[in-house]
Amino acid sequence: MRYDLAVIGAGPAGMAAAGAAARGGLRVALIDGAPRLGGQFHRQPPPGAGPPSQDFLRLRDRLTRADLHLGRRVWAVEPGFSVHHDGGTLTAERLLIATGAHDRVLPFPGWDLPGVLTAGGAQALLKGNLVVAGRRIVVAGTGPFLLPVATGLAAAGARVAGVFEASHRLGALARHPARAVQGAGYGLRLARHRVPYHRGQAVVAAHGDDALTGVTVADIDRDWRVLGTREIACDTLAVGYGFTPQLDLAVQLGCATTRDPDGTPVVAVDAGQRTSVPGVYAAGETTGVGGAELAELEGLAAACAVLGTPLPERLARRRDRAREFARLLHEVFPVRDGWRTWLRDDTLVCRCEEVPYRDIEDARDLGATDARSIKLLARPGMGWCQGRMCGYAVARLAGEDPPPPRRPIAQPITLQDLAAHPRRSPDVP
Amino acid sequence: MSGFEIVFSGRPIPVTPGQTIGAALHAAGIRSWRTTRVNGRPRGLFCGIGVCFDCLLTVNGESGVRACLRVAAPGDEVTPS
Amino acid sequence: MPDVVVIGAGVVGAACALYAARAGLGVTVVDQGTVAGGTTGAGEGNVLVSDKEPGPELDLALLSSGLWAGLAADVGGFEHEPKGGLVVAETPEAMTALTGLAAKQESSGVRAAGVEPQDYEPHITSGLAGAVYYPQDAQVQPMLAAARLLRASGAQVRTGVRVTGLTRSGDRITGVRTDEGDLRAGAVVNAAGTWAGDVAALAGIRLPVLPRRGFILVTEPLPEPLIRHKVYTAAYVTNVASEDEGLETSAVVEGTPAGTVLIGASRERVGYDRTVSYPVLARLAAQAVALFPALAGRQVIRAYCGFRPYCPDHLPVIGPDPRAPGLFHATGHEGAGIGLAPATGLLISRLLTGAAPPLDLFPFRPERFA
Ligand SMILES: Cc1cc2nc3c(=O)[nH]c(=O)nc-3n(C[C@H](O)[C@H](O)[C@H](O)COP(=O)(O)OP(=O)(O)OC[C@H]3O[C@@H](n4cnc5c(N)ncnc54)[C@H](O)[C@@H]3O)c2cc1C
Ligand SMILES: Cc1cc2nc3c(=O)[nH]c(=O)nc-3n(C[C@H](O)[C@H](O)[C@H](O)COP(=O)(O)OP(=O)(O)OC[C@H]3O[C@@H](n4cnc5c(N)ncnc54)[C@H](O)[C@@H]3O)c2cc1C
Ligand code: FES
């Protein structure tokens, strides 16, 4: 069967879009690599282990007329549109890319030790598995996301030794009424669990032989250079420096990209979430990191555009406000290049290929002037994760903003599954 | 639904149904289950959502499985990759 | 003023720079991109004698294979691995043709031996008719090789500089015009790879170098090496030599020091189109699994393409251009430019200094297409 719309990604953006499009009478497929609906924000606990959230149920209950293809990882999309996943191929007239984002990480000495997790990773363990990542946890990085992570862990019984927010001032954010209230809510919860919150501080090293035993926390200046340090004992570090949108599928189709205010590549869309490629839409974090509420509104806007109905004025205004707020967050929580001074010669920059900082410098010395040639000479980004973890750092080390990712294979696929592609070129007679 | 067990290198690991193998191992205090090719360093969960590939292990003979994505099934035999 | 300006910082330009510098010349290398950012950045790095019919290209390959071994010793740092190649035949007819080719190659100085495929590659499929082993086949990491040769040359390297014209005095080429100004030199070497035809056109010269697209699949890094040699089917030799514009593929499989397995090879003439062709990737996958069934469950983590610099008569272009005195070409090596780079560089340096080249250059002369 050929669908009217295939939605890739079942987070708030994809769920909202698929629900609205299906209720509008379209044949809709909703595809996600995860076995359960929800994406990151609405990640659900194991079935039966706790009640789903009201917001999740509201989105889920609208999906009765959509076909769900869960546990299906999409490795490629082709014009027309064919969506190739690890269980086969489905086709659709139109496509919505709502593949979300992953944590943006920075290298620092010891970040490869077991016990160091991304902030999102700790959150996913808790939300999706009811597993508290550790006993004594440090939360560090930058961005508003650190707050729900810290309060969630503390409420679940962990001792959170502190939240270390690298950014110095909240600036214009403090004047944003609605968010100031929400921020104060987190503040109260942090206080209730006696979690200290520090600005202008960062974890600049992690320690331990085969597992994490502590971290070095530093006061940092406005460019994130170390001013003074102290050690804190902990068995777990949850660290994240914002998010990197997952653009692989959009880039495969040739969708034009633009950049978030902080230089991150995102899919370029119009008010109806249309990309530059006719028939392809994008919503949620793929079009710019802005959180779950904005993702959901963008999903609705995409569904309206596909259905040819206008997005209700009220929702359009909410979306514009959420976008404006997202822009503000980018201003308040930028990543400053001073993190480079945290690196030692032997600090791994690429975790997969185990490329130390020294090798990156050697490659530059050999004439590698951009991120791509550093990769060709020293191999960062050549391993399993294909640069998802080190891509930002390597680009910044080369003095660039990260380029849009070119990954013709968006998820690993076995050779036998690749060989089974429906349009395999016939063998030469 | 009540819990079950999987086996990690001969050791029984309790699982709450719906948990991933990575979550179950982490909850059982096992924080690494892979050693790296070059330096032989231990690795376990990092990103938690299937993008970093640090958590690879072998499940019932199938190698290259991301522990943070694979939901545990009763009796799964898990070994380091 | 440098004695020589080399256009192109790929492996061929790097080798030209190194040998010219060793001959005592002052060298500047310009590239519109980065070091090894052209086709060299997409190459697999095989240094093969096995895939060439006796003739001028094989002579060049034999010279080059010895030079690579020497460079590994005195420059080093580019993962030179003399691992040997295994060419397999799927049918008795193919095996007869293969042994016939091997016999002819042996009289040109190639070492070859008929072997049992499984003795060399324990994981190879059992249904093969036979194999020939070529101990001289080797491998280098092409990007590192280009960078190391350039570094060892001591040449001035200017990346991000595009050649937009060639300056002349009368007939004679006197240097290059770039987007960063003119650069005068005693001689200009066109090592612009697939784009060498465009560079030649700047001097009003026709040089038919065309892009021939090739895709590569890269697998997950395997914990233990599954494949020890460069392994390919005898059909590869016919594909390389084909005139066809349409798609041709044959299984070419090899392990790398990083643990990944590289899978090729496809050839098609589609201009500079980078659109990924999944049907082609699927065919490469199917052929690799047919050759090594143990690969079936292994994951592909990456695919990419590059454009081989192809000449209609399948020979590279190496030598002075009589239509533009002072201009030398070093290009058109198709799928063998990494292997053939040192010999090309050596020949160019001999020509630049007026010394006698170790090989007859007549078959490679630039004006042969006129
Ligand atoms: C690990 C993590 C945890 C987070 N937790 C929170 C939180 O608790 N609170 C909060 O406010 N924000 C959280 N965020 C921020 C989050 O980005 C947004 O809140 C929101 O979830 C974004 O919605 P979305 O619809 O754009 O994408 P997501 O919710 O990220 O959903 C994208 C979906 O696409 C699927 N997908 C991606 N690629 C493929 C593919 N190739 N094939 C098939 N499926 C694919 C993913 O499995 C995912 O389910 C988290 C982010 C991350 C990375
Ligand atoms: C998939 C694939 C696999 C391959 N495998 C092998 C293999 O195993 N073994 C082998 O020997 N060969 C292999 N090859 C072929 C090999 O990669 C090429 O023959 C070789 O890299 C050509 O090198 P080059 O230096 O001539 O060209 P390039 O590396 O392309 O260098 C030319 C340079 O010239 C520059 N340039 C062009 N125009 C201008 C201008 N106007 N101004 C300034 N600079 C300019 C470009 O930026 C470029 O960097 C393979 C090729 C492909 C595509
Ligand atoms: S923890 Fe990153 S892929 Fe599993």
Q: How far is B72 from chain C (nearest CA, A)?
A: 21
Q: What is the pLDDT of residues A155-208, one digit of tens each?
A: 999 999 999 999 997 766 666 655 665 666 788 888 888 899 999 999 999 999
d(CA C135, ligand 2 centre) in Å? 26
d(CA B78, ligand 1 centre) in Å? 27
B-contacting chains (≥3 CB pairs under 8 Å): A, C
Residue in chain C nearest A408 by alpha carbon: C303
Structure-block tokens of residue A103:
């944590």
Q: Give the start-to-end residue ranges of the domains of chain B.
A: 4-80
Among C343, C157, C304, smallest CA distance to A407 is for: C304
Long-range contacts of range C162-171, CB-CB < 8 Å, 24 or more positions apart?
C162/C30, C162/C32, C163/C7, C163/C30, C163/C32, C163/C192, C163/C199, C163/C202, C164/C202, C165/C202, C166/C199, C166/C202, C166/C203, C166/C324, C166/C327, C168/C203, C168/C324, C171/C324, C171/C325
A129 and B19 within 8 Å at the Cβ level: the answer is yes
Q: Of the bound ligands, which one is closest to the alpha carbon of residue B31?
A: 3
Quick one: chain A helix, strand, coil %, rounded to 5?
35, 25, 40
Whether B40 has its CB under 8 Å from any CB of chain C: the answer is no
A412 and C220 within 8 Å at the Cβ level: the answer is yes
ipTM of model: 0.97
d(CA A316, ligand 2 centre) in Å? 51
Residue in chain A nearest B21 by alpha carbon: A129
Whether C304 has its CB under 8 Å from any CB of chain A: the answer is yes
- Specify the CATH number for B4-80; select among 3.10.20.440, 3.40.50.300, 1.10.10.10, 3.10.20.30: 3.10.20.440
Which residues 347-386 of A have a C-beta within 8 angstroms of C?
A: 353, 363, 366-370, 372-373, 376-377, 379, 382-384, 386
Residue C149: CB partners within 8 Å, gap ≥ 6?
A: C11, C14, C15, C17, C18, C71, C75, C341, C345
C297 and B62 within 8 Å at the Cβ level: the answer is yes
Ligand 3 close to Cβ of residue B64 (< 6 A): no
Helix axes A119-129, A146-155, angle to 10 degrees: 40
Determine the length of chain A.
429
A415 and C281 within 8 Å at the Cβ level: the answer is no
C297 and A414 within 8 Å at the Cβ level: the answer is yes
Ligand 3 close to Cβ of residue B21 (< 6 A): no
Structure-block tokens of residue C367:
């004006």
| Tens digits of pLDDT across chain C (370 residues) | 899 999 999 999 999 999 999 999 999 999 999 999 999 999 999 999 999 999 999 999 999 999 999 999 999 999 999 999 999 999 999 999 999 999 999 999 999 999 999 999 999 999 899 999 999 999 999 999 999 999 999 999 999 999 999 999 999 999 999 999 999 999 999 999 999 999 999 999 999 999 999 999 999 999 888 999 999 998 877 777 777 778 888 889 999 988 999 999 899 999 999 999 999 999 999 999 999 999 999 999 999 999 999 999 999 999 999 999 999 999 999 999 999 999 999 999 999 999 999 999 999 999 999 7
Structure-block tokens of residue A177:
């009424």
Handedness of CA B7, B12, B13, B14 (dihedral sign): positive
Rounded Cα–Cα distance for residues C81 and C137 (Å)? 9
Report chain A's terminal Cα–Cα distance, integer Å. 32
φ, ψ dihedrals at A191, nearest 5° = -65, -40
Which 3 state secondary structure label does DSSP give C36? coil
Helix H or strand E segment including C212: strand C210-219
A367 and C157 within 8 Å at the Cβ level: the answer is yes
Determine the length of chain C.
370
**Identity of the amino acid at A210:** D
| Inter-chain contacts counted by CB atoms under 8 A, chains A and B | 107
d(CA A102, ligand 1 centre) in Å? 7
Among C91, C123, C85, C78, smallest CA distance to C105 is for: C85
Handedness of CA C345, C350, C353, C354 (dihedral sign): negative
